[in-house]
Amino acid sequence: MIMTENSLTTKDVKVSYGQHESLHGVTLDFPKNQITALMGPSGCGKSTFLRCLNRSNDLLPDVTVSGEIEFEQQDIYGPKVNVVALRTQIGMVYQQPTPFPFSIYENVIFSQRMIGLHDRQKADEIVERSLRQAAIWDEVKDRLQRSAQSLSGGQQQRVCLASVLAGAPEVILLDEPTSALDPIASAKIEGTLLSLKDSYTIVIVTHNLQQASRISDQTAFLLNGDLVEADATKTIFMTPREQATSDYLNGKFG
């Protein structure tokens, strides 16, 4: 068996909103430079789990997270962790594109500006590199000063991805990034993710089975707040161990 290095590891992660526990202990590792898909029906806890991985659950009131989550062997919920810096290393793209009402250029470079980047040339380089990586450079290179909100949904989503990439993250989390997009825009995003795999560890939440099977190396199936099973994507899709997984894949519920 080949030992793969893990970028993120989790152990018995539980999440409660107020009194209600919506994630009942998930243990899952995320191998470096692989795409992991979290799939399951709505309300199964996959987005909740994803939001633990960069501590964006902290923004919601009344959320308690327990269990262990380690990023490069460091407990991310530890007392000495700089949450702001952590979120630069573990970036996140949301279901709805979330560009700021700035120009495309300023959107991409925003996080770098906030940590004190003023060098014009360096900023130009980062913007171009990030937009190229997000596969949108050719479409926007002549109108970088236009408002990012004037772009189409698919373009906005890739600009948001570029904004995350500009922070030079290790891990990219994506919360159903294509469910608000048309098939052509979705295909572009998927292609982009596949090309990013060599440099980043990617975790994508999706309830699109085809998408999970097309792009991911590892797939985890969640149901009602529990991890049902996780394995290589091929194994999950061809020979699932659990009846629930098989039923979900065959469209018996969803």
Q: What is the three-class DSSP state of 161? A: helix
Please count the residues of this chain forming the interface with other proteins, following the rule CB under 8 A: 28
From the CB of 25, what's the least distance to other proteins, in Å?
Answer: 25
Of the pair 165, 223, the CB lying nearest other proteins is at 165
- Which residues ranging from 189 to 208 are in contact with other proteins (CB under 8 A)? none
**Bridge partner list, 6:** 31
Of the pair 112, 245, the CB lying nearest other proteins is at 112
For the four alpha carbons of 25, 171, 51 and 177, in that order, the dihedral sign comes to: negative
DSSP 240: -
Alpha carbon 76 to its chain's center:
17
Site for other proteins contains 238 (CB under 8 A): no
From the CB of 175, what's the least distance to other proteins, in Å?
Answer: 10
Give one DSSP letter per residue of 93-145, joined into a string: E-SS----SSBHHHHHHHHHHHTT---HHHHHHHHHHHHHHTT-HHHHTT-TT
Of the pair 4, 16, the CB lying nearest other proteins is at 16
Candidate segments 69-77, 109-117, 119-127, 203-211, binder of other proteins by CB under 8 A:
109-117
Give contact residues for other proteins (rule: CB under 8 A): 54, 56, 59, 61, 84-89, 91-94, 96, 98-101, 110-111, 114, 147, 149, 160, 163-164, 167
